[in-house]
Chains A and B, each alone.
Chain A
Amino acid sequence: MNIRLNGGTVDIKSPPLTSLLTVLREELNVTSPKRGCDQGGCGACTVLVDGTPQRTCLTPVAAVDGAEITTIEGLGDSENLTAVQQSFLHHGAAQCGFCTPSMIIAATAYLDGDGSAEPEAIQEALKGHLCRCTGYQKIISAVSAAATKSEFDLTSMTASPNTVILPGGDT
């Protein structure tokens, strides 16, 4: 068996019924898909299989033999963030960060499929992904902004409209 992983071809040594999650994390050392529940409930292990988000914990590796697998390592790196990654950073949509790779994977697929900036549509697209930190609002804002904008100015993040001016101090 082999898979196309983030552009390169890799051979798989694990037995065919091994989950794709275990293959990625333990055999191939690709650790961005997270083992949050190992039973298809949390979405943190999601990667793109031929462009479609899929839960790797429930996917036997044999089922993706020859497929194109994209993890967040295959999107932008720290020097070259995609619009979705920039937007997550800009909106504070990543807090503890554990669900973030899968959220960005799912959001990327959504926007690649011409998903709209409507919060309800984004909510529908991300509904299989649990986040326990943010309350989801910042994630939805980040995806919504990325739907209409391709670049975010991260070097000079500015004061928000809710800026608190402390007595005796500037902002």
Chain B
Amino acid sequence: MKAVGARMPRYDGVGHVTGQTQYVDDVRVHGMLSAKALRSTVHHAAITNIDTSKAEAMPGVKAVITSKDVPLLEYGHLSGLGIPADEPLLAKDDVRYLGQPIALVAAEDEDTAQAAVNAIEIEFEERPALWDVRKAFDADAPRSHHWGNWYTHFEDEMDRRQIRKGNIEQAFEDADRLVSGVYRTSAIEHVPLEPQVSLVTPEPDGRLTIYSCTQALYFSLAVVAAHLEIPMNRIKIVGGTVGGGFGGKVDTATETITALAAMKANRPVKWRWTREEEFLVSSTRAPWHMEIIDAVTNDGWILGRKMLTLHDSGAYARFSPYGLTKHSFHHTGAYTIPNLHFDGYVVFTNRTPSTAMRGFGVTSISFAVETHMNRIADILGIDPYEIRLKNANRINDTSPNRIRYTDPSTVDVIHAMSNATGVELAPAYAGATRQPREGDMLPDHLVSQLKTEGH
């Protein structure tokens, strides 16, 4: 245990402070082509015509890739888990968000590639766009996705992530009062200093070498191989040096399309996004809409929680079903509420698809839960530390998804906070521990959850 708590130099620190660390854009390969994408200029439309012939005939253009060139057009990052894919690698029949890639041109230099992109003839027939997750369920809402306006492929083809625990009706009957709140977060762009980039070199032995800025190398390996319908042993991915990711480089944003261009041109191809593309097109943290109604007692116990979450997935599912699942497991925060009724929907809109970002799915619910705790304390006139310590997870309590806590740290964390801020707690709360509930900390309504079958 020499490393814990010690100041250790970064293993890659010397390279960083001497400028010798090699990022993807720093890799130099002989004969490399540059790539530019044709992207949707509208938010939602049918593609009625596309003609790449003028672009292909331009001097210096070595490959033009469209959906027709992709062996397996739709493959998702969660396909390996049996979750169906919904997003084409390059748009085919329609576009569902501004900036969606439709074609990629590889040429001798970036200017030639961009000129060729501009020479591609494309026609759209615009459709109404859906922006507000709250309107997605209206009968007259614009239709944003071929599955409907929300994801329908949870287990047993359920259309929501649902949690039922305890007896919610009884909790609402027993409550002294109900406290409700609506909480919303907005999309956030990750803004890594290094924009999305990859470089793919076709090797003489038929393999592909992919230099990637991915955060998830094995995801990218599987996803590229699946789209290209080639075995993984024909792909060598060089990764590990990421110029900032924060979740935004978990999606395989560039590797597969660049690989197709490199194979068609039989030349190394680099596709490097501009900062403008990074802001406008790369995936974001999702906006979330969260509604909570809690059944509470006047002395600050939370007997039950009804909750509705609408997760704005943007135009395609990507990792959103997974993020919403994590969100649902955490929807009581660090507190124990024995009676629960949670419905969460992954809603499709015509926004840029959202993805993982630091605390995927959990950051949103933590914000909602902690704000709501303060609201309850405020309404009841109870100290915000005390209401937290009262309901804090203790050993043998169970989570919304019925995990039995064996060593929860909530009590200790709240004590650390009150110590750091100089808040004096009443003796009953200052002496609270993470040990199993007993006495005043084990009111009747929490007895049954201790008997919930946990795992």
Which residues of A pack against B, CB within 8 Å?
A: 25, 29, 31-32, 34-39, 41-42, 44, 71-73, 75-78, 81, 85-86, 88-90, 92, 94-101, 104, 130-133, 154, 157-160, 162-166, 169-171
Contacts and interface: CB of A to CB of B under 8 A. Distances in A.
A85 B275 contact: no
Contact of A101 (B19, B241, B244): B19
Nearest to B25: A35
Interface residues of B, number: 39
A133 B6 contact: no
A91 B450 CA distance: 46
Contact of B275 (A39, A81, A88, A160): A39
Contact of A89 (B9, B194, B246, B274): B9
B17 A100 contact: yes
21 contacts: A31-B23, A32-B20, A37-B275, A71-B19, A73-B18, A73-B19, A78-B15, A85-B17, A89-B9, A89-B13, A92-B7, A95-B10, A97-B241, A98-B193, A98-B194, A133-B244, A157-B7, A159-B7, A165-B5, A170-B2, A171-B6
A156 to B, nearest CB: 10
Chain B binding surface, main DSSP class: loop
B26 A96 contact: no
A76 B9 CA distance: 18
B1 A97 contact: no
A27 to B, nearest CB: 12
A3 B14 CA distance: 28
Interface string B225-267: 0000000000000000111111000000000000000000000
Nearest to A154: B9
B7 A88 contact: no
A98 B274 contact: no
Nearest to A104: B17
A132 B17 contact: no
A99 B194 CA distance: 9
Nearest to A81: B17
B191 interface: yes
B192 interface: yes
B8 interface: yes
A58 B20 CA distance: 23
A12 B324 CA distance: 54
Contact of A77 (B12, B18, B195): B18
Contacts of B451: none
A166 B193 contact: no
A88 B12 CA distance: 12
